[in-house]
Amino acid sequence: MRIDIISVIPELLESPLGHSIMKRAQAKGLLEVHTHQLRQWAVNEYGQVDDYQYGGGAGMVMMCEPLANAIESLSAQRHYDEVIYMTPDGPTLNQKTANTLSLKENLLLICGHYKGIDQRIRDHFVTMEISIGDYVLSGGELAAAVLVDAIGRLIPGVLGDETSALTDSFQDGLLAPPVYTRPADFRGWQVPAVLLSGDLKKVDEWRYEQALQRTESRRPDLQGDA
Give whichever of 140 and 177 is closer to ligand ADE, judged by the CB atom. Answer: 140
Give whichever of 86 and 121 is closer to ligand ADE, judged by the CB atom. Answer: 86
Q: How far is the CB of 96 from ligand ADE (least distance, A)?
A: 17
Residue 36: in which H helix or E strand, if any?
A: strand 32-37
Give whichever of 46 and 135 is closer to ligand ADE, judged by the CB atom. Answer: 135
Q: How far is the CB of 18 from ligand ADE (least distance, A)?
A: 21
End-to-end CA distance of the chain: 24
Cα(74)–Cα(129) distance, integer angstroms: 19
Whether the Cβ atoms of residue 22 and residue 148 lie closer than 8 Å to each other: yes
| Identity of residue 221 | D
Among positive and negative, which fits the CA dihedral 41, 45, 50, 54?
negative
Task: Taking each helix axis as running N to C, give the angle between helix 20-27 and helix 141-152, from 0 to 180 degrees, rounded to the nearest 10.
Answer: 60
User: Per-residue DSSP letters for 140-205?
Assistant: SHHHHHHHHHHHHTTSTTSSSSTHHHHTSTTTTSSPPPP---S-SEETTEEPPGGGGS--HHHHHH
Whether the Cβ atoms of residue 206 and residue 194 lie closer than 8 Å to each other: yes
Give whichever of 137 and 195 is closer to ligand ADE, judged by the CB atom. Answer: 137
Q: How far is the CB of 58 from ligand ADE (least distance, A)?
A: 16
Q: How far is the CB of 110 from ligand ADE (least distance, A)?
A: 10
Which residue in the shown chain puts its C-beta closest to ligand ADE? 143
Q: How far is the CB of 190 from ligand ADE (least distance, A)?
A: 41
The residues that touch ligand ADE, with contacts defined as CB under 6 A, are: 86-88, 112, 131-133, 135-137, 140, 143
Give whichever of 24 and 114 is closer to ligand ADE, judged by the CB atom. Answer: 114
Give whichever of 62 and 70 is closer to ligand ADE, judged by the CB atom. Answer: 62
Q: How far is the CB of 134 from ligand ADE (least distance, A)?
A: 7
Cα(95)–Cα(169) distance, integer angstroms: 9
